Amino acid sequence: MRPLTPRRVLGICLLLLAVLFAAVVLSLRMGAYPMAVRDIVTTLVNGALGRRERIPSEFWLVVFGLRLPRIALGILVGAALSTSGAGFQALLRNPLADPYVLGVSSGAALGAILSLIVAPLAPGLIQVAAFVGAAATITGVYFLGRRGGHLDSGTLLLAGIISASFLSAVIMFLMTTLSGRDLRGMAFWLMGDLSSTPAVDLRWLYLLLLVGAGSIYTTASDLNLILSGEQEARHLGVNVGRVKIVVYVAASLLTGLAVSLSGAIGYVGLLTPHVMRMLFGTDYRLLIPTSAIGGAIIIVLADLLARTVVAPTELPVGAMTAIAGAPVFIYLMRRSMR
């Protein structure tokens, strides 16, 4: 393994950003509405120059109203999920750890359902409620997972799994009291889907992504040491307790953010860090940025498939990631057993 130089980190990130750019271009090009590359470029250029009257209104709607916001949302969600996945995996020193294993998605879904029961027509409330649900679950799991005053990986994982199944049962119970219309929306929501535009300005959400991912990144060197053993890390002067809390809170923020925007999109948070580890090594200083970009690439491509495979009908993107993710997961598992 070559030593990690800043130059190498920059190079790899630029490479991945180029791949992401290609995925975005492809995603802009494809869809139920047929548009030539030339038309897309003209629309983008005129849009950037504010010359809207020069573009046919359908081009405008498709590019700026539908495809770009959806791509931007996909990048945000993919980056948030993968970064928090990488964070949770280091924190729990468990390769199976992922935002959803800790019950966060169930908590978010429960919050959403409660908001549907209390105030079904309040705009944007469902997202806020999902975020609150995710945060509350994470807090609960955190206190359940403490043993002897500090976070214990095994206990935390168990607490997460138990909470997830408990919350899922509560959701099933509540869903039987909802009317049919709400149920339909809910089922789709639980699968994970990018077709709804967030009520909050995306710029604020990207800012939250930066804060969350940035906080995890500041602990990257410490995470490397913790991964080789908590005792050793302590002896080397790492404040293990503080690092754990920072990563836990930041990763939870990112998960809550993603779930409240798109529902529970599985496998991305679990698999992206694994793939990035295989490609670029286990150093967290590289793993965190590559996971963020890699997750964005995967979601953009998965959503492209979700929009086009059975067009004009759309699949939930969560179905796409699960179909592609489960075989990849089995492959990785068998490979690592050898």
Partner 1 sequence: MVPAAALLAGALALLSLARVATAFERPLAASVAQSSAITHVTDEVGRQVSVPAQVNRVVTLSPDLTETIYALGLEDKLAGDTNYCDTPPAAKLKPHIGTAQNPSLEAIVALRPDLILASTSINRRETVDELARLGLAVYATNPHTVRGVLASIENVATVMGAATQGHGLVVGLRARLEALHMRLNDLPLAHVFFVVWQDPLITIGQNTFIADALKWAGAESVIIADQNWPQISFEEVVRVQPDYIVFTSNHSGDTGKLLSELRSRPDWKGLHAVELGHIVNVSDEIARPSAGLVNAIEELAHDLHPEAFSGPGARYAPGLQKSTPEFAVTAVCGEEHAACAR
Binding residues for partner 1 (CB under 8 A): 6-7, 9-10, 13-14, 17, 24, 31-34, 47-48, 52, 57-58, 60-62, 64-69, 71-72, 75-76, 79, 176-181, 183-185, 188, 195-197, 201-203, 205-207, 209-210, 213-214, 217, 285-286, 289, 292-293, 296, 307, 311-316
The residue to which tokens 């002067």 are assigned: 237
Beta carbon of residue 38, minimum distance to partner 1 (angstroms, whole number)? 18
Strand partners, 151: 146
Beta carbon of residue 202, minimum distance to partner 1 (angstroms, whole number)? 5
Residue 54 or 147: the one with the smaller Cβ distance to partner 1 is 54
Beta carbon of residue 134, minimum distance to partner 1 (angstroms, whole number)? 20
- Enumerate long-range contacts of 177-183, CB under 8 Å, 24 or more apart: 177/117, 178/113, 178/116, 178/117, 182/116, 182/120
The residue to which tokens 């939930």 are assigned: 316
Beta carbon of residue 66, minimum distance to partner 1 (angstroms, whole number)? 6
Beta carbon of residue 72, minimum distance to partner 1 (angstroms, whole number)? 4
The residue to which tokens 């793993």 are assigned: 287
Q: How far is CA 131 from CA 21, 156, 212, in A?
A: 29, 20, 14
Residue pair 284/213 in contact (Cβ under 8 Å)? The answer is no
Residue 187 or 333: the one with the smaller Cβ distance to partner 1 is 187
Residue 155 or 196: the one with the smaller Cβ distance to partner 1 is 196
Residue pair 258/321 in contact (Cβ under 8 Å)? The answer is no
Residue 71 or 92: the one with the smaller Cβ distance to partner 1 is 71
Rounded Cα distance, 24 and 68, in Å: 9
Question: Taking CA 87 as the corner, what is the angle to CA 82 and CA 89, rounded to the nearest 5 degrees?
Answer: 95
Residue 118 or 162: the one with the smaller Cβ distance to partner 1 is 118
* Terminal-to-terminal C-alpha distance of the chain: 20
Torsion sign over Cα 60, 62, 66, 71: negative
Residue 153 or 308: the one with the smaller Cβ distance to partner 1 is 308
Beta carbon of residue 213, minimum distance to partner 1 (angstroms, whole number)? 8
Beta carbon of residue 166, minimum distance to partner 1 (angstroms, whole number)? 22
Rounded Cα distance, 296 and 83, in Å: 10
Residue 67 or 277: the one with the smaller Cβ distance to partner 1 is 67
